Structure 1
């Protein structure tokens, strides 16, 4: 179980690193745009991401 969690974390870091590594200027603009969004919209986006992730895990396991 712990090994699976470490693999998942490693994959997350790899995929999250592609954006800033390959497109640093676009990534920086994207982060600035996200930072200007209202907090309620950020919470909604985060909640949707968590729900989609949970549903995906449910169907994969």
Structure 2
């Protein structure tokens, strides 16, 4: 169980690192744009991604 969790974390970190490694200028522009968004919008995006992740895990399991 712990090894599966660590593997999932490792895959998430790899995926998160690909975009800034391959496209650093576009990634920087996106982060700057995101920083100027209202907090409520960022929270809604986060909750949407969280729900997609939960549904995906539930579907796979």
Question: Do they fold alike, i.e. is TM over 0.5?
Answer: yes
1:15 and 2:5 aligned: no
RMSD: 0.4
Q: What's the TM-score, normalizing by structure 1?
A: 0.97
Q: Output the TM-score relative to the length of structure 2.
A: 0.97
1:8 CA drift (Å)? 0.3
Find the counterpart in structure 1 of residue 46 from structure 2: 46
Task: Note the residue ranges of structure 1 that are not aligned, 5 or more in a row.
Answer: none
Count of matched residue positions in the alignment of Structure 1 and Structure 2: 61
Q: Answer yes or no: is 1:3 the counterpart of 2:3.
A: yes
